[in-house]
Structure 1
């Protein structure tokens, strides 16, 4: 029988769902709350898909993984890299299951491409995955391809006007959960199964609680009910990587760093092109419309493409590094609360922390709830790879790391909602021996809890602790060592992250 099923709901929190729970629209989730135990869950900073889905699967904070966001800036080498599945310096809970002679089936977990060898199956997922060599075993990919399985939509949602693309995402979520249930039906003796519903958070980013998002959640609720009916004896866990909240302020961190004298850029061309509405995104859409996109991308000289901003917000990813005057700059920001101090200057770091702590937006509210040195935010052997400053952006704030002719503050832009640190957790099933949970829990508590649910030894290097759900003692084991890599991700992956609004 299937022992434990984990459903990962990207960007979900109870605050988001409460109105629909109250209206009876999510009756199956509500039934699980009444029968099981539930609480809030706190993610690692920043509260983002990468790295938090791997904080979940490893039971560790980013300081033990060496990955902190969708991009890593090396201020000494002046380079930017994007992580993939092999960038994380840790084993995952399925490695310990397999070591103990147990099986696992993992579907659509972000940051698992290229896929890992797992004793049963893995279907890679999230925005970093490609529609080739995305499964283990490889023949599973052929089976899924023949059934029409797709990792990503043909046309991404890039604005609040993309209703057709939003409808396609709802269909993709339907396909994802249906495929997961079919794989469970084919693997009835699996010990732990996991499926992440990733694209639900994309709908939340662009539409918040509007109709496409609500409809997708009603679909998710329907599948949750069917899974509970099909596997009544399984332990069922619902969890998320973070939560979500509507945006009231966009904070352009690099515009603020420039205004304060911490960052010096060479953006005259960007300013001119932005003012007249020329950027790569508009050129790309026009080229697609005219049927000459491949011709344009092939013939355009690199020196020309590098001088054109990505979109209306300016330069992003590697392109933005080329616009920095490194000799005169002291700091540069990534998105969602991360700041790199150039030359690791302690005086600059302290002054920046003080300035960020006192920074308020146009509405008089602080931009950050907390501003920390990296050593305060993380713990582990790879903390020195982290951004020097980490700030927990206030719920309602979206921080962009684009470089261009942006104001320091703006109203909600492309995104209607932004990630927040508080997500959700729920457990239900006949194996539970507790009817309460002291919360909130940490995202790092879930991996040891999954292992505990099937009596698998828990490695001693996990940050999290198993929740007191199943009773009894917890056997431990030595950590499994792994080899990681830090190669930059493929151009197509960066394009997808940018389309989704992650690399700004």
Structure 2
């Protein structure tokens, strides 16, 4: 039998679910809360899918992994890259299971493409996976393809008006969990994991709206079925971070430019930006006219490279081309990361002070905490991190786009943004605990998973096994080596991240 089942619920927190729990719409999750033990869980900085799902699988903070967000800006080389599964410099908990002669089945975990060789199986997860060579063993993917398994929706949700596409996401989430249940029946493993990633996409665009509620009702139904099918398993519910509705969009690079930290070049492309001409609008117009393929084929690269991505302006590599590197001292990614050019300590101090004092037009702070990278992270790769990390106040979305944006605006592309507080729940006949002294850390989950199946915990994990199994001693072991990094993710992966609103 499968001893431990982990369900990863991207972007979930108890505050998000509370109204639906109170209304009786999520009876299975409510029953688990009453029967098991639960608490809040804190993610690593920043509270984002990448890197936090791999903080979960390694039990380590990003300073020990070398990946800090969806993109990495190298201010010396003036390049922007996107990580893939091999960019994280650590073994994962399934490596320790396999080393101990135990098995794992890992499904839909973000940042696992290309997939790892896992005994028993791995089905790589979105948003960075491709519908090609996405499983180990490969024949599993062939069977899933035959059954109609889809890694991603046929049409992505890219805005709040995409209600039909949102319906497709609800169907995809249901299919994902039904496939996981089939895998649980077909393959006995010691530990099985499945992440429901696209639920947080619905939360970003619709917050607690009808599509999100329906998706959570589907998730609740599937959780109840898993609990019924595997009553003797230890069941863990956990998330990579939480979610909250947005009241302020903070365009960090607009603020940096207004304060003199960032200088951008004025070019012909700015005319497009000023008059609202962007790739997203042109693409929709071309689709409506039935000439999208013709335009794509005939438009010269020198023209398309000059057109902003969407109404927020220049993103990805485009924004680096806008930076006047000789005159600038800082540039920002999204969701709380700021790179200081030349790592000047005086600039770092001034920026920290300025960000800590910054308030929106309503007099509310933008950041709850502003940290040097050495305060946010610990480990051998801290020097690769952005020099400044700020924890967005719940309700703030920090955009890293460069364009003719105000410093502050009301709700924009997303209705809701990530927050650091997620959720954790444990239930099962082997769970011998009545309470958890929370909140716990996301890095506590991997050692807890290992301990749940009597596997040794490596000594380099940041987290500690939670006191869920009082009669078990915790065994430790030496760390395993990790595989070398591969090339950064391809451009089509970056396109998908941009459609979803992650890369700005």
What TM-score do the two structures reach when normalised by structure 1? 0.99
CA distance in 2, matches of 1:31, 1:374: 41
Residue in 1 that maps onto 2:481: 481
Match of 1:198 in 2: 197
The 2-side partners of 1:295 and 1:113 are apart by 32
| Shift in alpha-carbon separation, 1:299–1:488, aligned structure 2, 3 A | farther
Deviation at 1:53? Answer: 0.2
Does residue 371 of structure 2 align to residue 387 of structure 1? no
Tell me, yes or no, if structure 1 residue 277 matches structure 2 residue 240: no
Equivalent residues in 2 for 1:343-422 (5 A)?
Answer: 343-422=342-421
- Cα deviation, 1:385-426, whole Å, max 9, x if unaligned, reads 000000000000000000000000000101000000000000
- Deviation by residue 1:438-472 (Cα, 9 ceiling, x = unmatched): 10000000000000000000000000000000122
Shift in Å, 1:285: 1.8
Q: Distance in 1 between matches of 2:478 and 2:24?
A: 46
Shift of 1:289: 2.8
In structure 2, what is the equivalent of residue 107 of structure 1?
A: 107
Offset at residue 273 of structure 1 (A): 1.2
Deviates more, 1:284-293 or 1:224-233: 284-293
Report the CA distance between 1:345 and its aligned residue: 0.6
Partner secondary structure for residue 108 of structure 2:
strand
Number of corresponding residues? 503
Q: Report the alpha carbon displacement of residue 275 of structure 1 after superposing the two structures with TM.
A: 3.0
Find runs of 4+ consecutive structure 1 residues off by over 6 angstroms.
Answer: none
Q: 1:25 corresponds to which residue?
A: 25
* Residue pair 1:270, 1:314 contacting (<8 A) in 2 also: no
* CA–CA distance in structure 1, aligned partners of residues 426 and 436 of structure 2: 10
Query: Residue 231 of structure 1 aligns with which residue?
Result: 230
Structure 2 residue matching 1:390: 3-state secondary structure = strand
After TM superposition, list the pairs within 5 Å mapping 1:59-98 onto structure 2: 59-98=59-98
1:303 equivalent in structure 2: 302
Report the Cα distance in structure 2 between the residues aligned to 1:218 and 1:269, rounded to whole angstroms.
49
RMSD across aligned positions (CA)? 0.9
- Describe the SS at the equivalent of 1:375: helix
Q: TM-score, normalised by structure 2?
A: 0.99
**Whole-angstrom CA distance in 2 between matches of 1:84 and 1:299:** 32
- Offset of 1:288 from its aligned partner? 2.6
Does 2:446 match 1:460? no
For the Cα contact (< 8 Å) 1:446–1:466, is it kept in 2? Answer: yes
What residue number does 1:495 align with?
495
Corresponding residue SS for 2:121 = strand
CA distance in 2, matches of 1:464, 1:411: 38
Q: Give runs of aligned pairs for residues 48-59 of structure 1, distance below 5 A.
A: 48-59=48-59
Aligned to 1:140: 140
Q: In the TM superposition, what is the alpha-carbon distance from 1:486 to its structure 2 partner? A: 5.5
For residues 267 and 257 of structure 1, the distance between their equivalents in structure 2, rounded to whole angstroms, comes to 16
Residue aligning to 2:214: 215
d(CA) in 1 for partners of 2:273, 2:217? 40
Deviation at 1:274, TM superposition (A): 2.4
Structure 1 gaps, min length 5: none
Aligned mates of 1:269, 1:251 — CA distance in 2:
26
